[in-house]
Amino acid sequence: MNDKTTIRRLPERAVEDRRVIDAILDEGFVCHVAYIVDGRPVVIPTLYARDGDRLLLHGSNSMGIARAVRRGSPLSVAVTHVDGLVVARSGFHSSANYRSVVVHGVGRILEGEDHAGALDKIIESVIPGRLADLRPSTRSEIDQTSVIELSLDEVSAKVRTGGPKDDPEDLDSEVWAGILPLHVVAGQPIASDDLTPNIAPPDYLVDYRR
């Protein structure tokens, strides 16, 4: 809200800068993946991680993503952060502040060491610090899970920030206008009922932030 002129001129903009795109991707861990089945689109949420110039999409073997990739369906993946509500003086200019990345491309199902390493990367991306505390995954566990790689070759972002962009004739309205910020926050870790006694939650959970 500081640079009002800029914000008002460009409230919603396409972003090509890979640093901005990567920051949006790295802040999230749930994406929405779209693919085609029998000529119809299907969209589902799943876990993911960014690994350099590729996304790693988590797919249990019962899920349709890997099946769709095997059958040749291209993918579209969206990662969206909703940062607030834009409370304008008209319905028309009411909106939401958000940062969204969309990736298009043909996915590839990972195999072998790349597959096992990708699963670890997703775990570590969802909870940074967790991987070092876990036993290695077994071959059977790895085989029951798919990871689909999607290159970031075809990627774009859209970002809306700042306050409402009301029409001049609405500015003397007596109606409140501004933004309502929205945040995702973590609560206190809740121990599993079967936890070995006297184990404290690790710092990477107590201090968890995206």
Site for a copy of itself in 42-61 (CB under 8 A): 42-45, 47
Out of 15, 27, 67, 74, the only residue in the binding site for a copy of itself (CB under 8 A) is 74
Give the largest Cα separation in the chain, rounded: 66
157 dihedral zone (left: phi>0; alpha: psi -120 to 50; beta): beta
Interface segment toward a copy of itself; rule CB under 8 A; list 13-21, 48-56, 107-115, 141-149: 141-149
Q: What residues have CB less than 8 Å from 77, skipping those under 6 apart?
A: 31, 32, 33, 34, 48, 55, 57, 102, 103, 104, 150
Please check whether residue 29 is in contact with residue 46, taking contact to mean a CB–CB distance below 8 angstroms.
no
> What is the closest distance, in whole angstroms, from the C-beta atom of residue 52 to a copy of itself in the complex?
20
Q: Is 195 in the site for a copy of itself (CB under 8 A)?
A: yes
> What is the closest distance, in whole angstroms, from the C-beta atom of residue 9 to a copy of itself in the complex?
14
Q: Of the two residues 67 and 202, which places its CB atom closer to a copy of itself in the complex?
A: 202
Out of 50, 66, 76, 149, the only residue in the binding site for a copy of itself (CB under 8 A) is 76
Rounded-to-integer distance, Cα 198 and Cα 148, Å: 39
> What is the closest distance, in whole angstroms, from the C-beta atom of residue 153 to a copy of itself in the complex?
14
Out of 15, 20, 23, 96, the only residue in the binding site for a copy of itself (CB under 8 A) is 96
> What is the closest distance, in whole angstroms, from the C-beta atom of residue 21 to a copy of itself in the complex?
15
Q: Is 66 in the site for a copy of itself (CB under 8 A)?
A: no
Please check whether residue 56 is in contact with residue 118, taking contact to mean a CB–CB distance below 8 angstroms.
yes
Q: Of the two residues 19 and 135, which places its CB atom closer to a copy of itself in the complex?
A: 135
In the structure encoding, which two tokens stand for residue 62, read together? 């019962």
Residue 69: Cβ-neighbour burial (10 angstroms; 0-12, 13-18, 19+)? buried
Q: Is 10 in the site for a copy of itself (CB under 8 A)?
A: no
Interface segment toward a copy of itself; rule CB under 8 A; list 13-21, 48-56, 68-76, 107-115: 68-76
CB neighbours (10 Å) of residue 112?
8
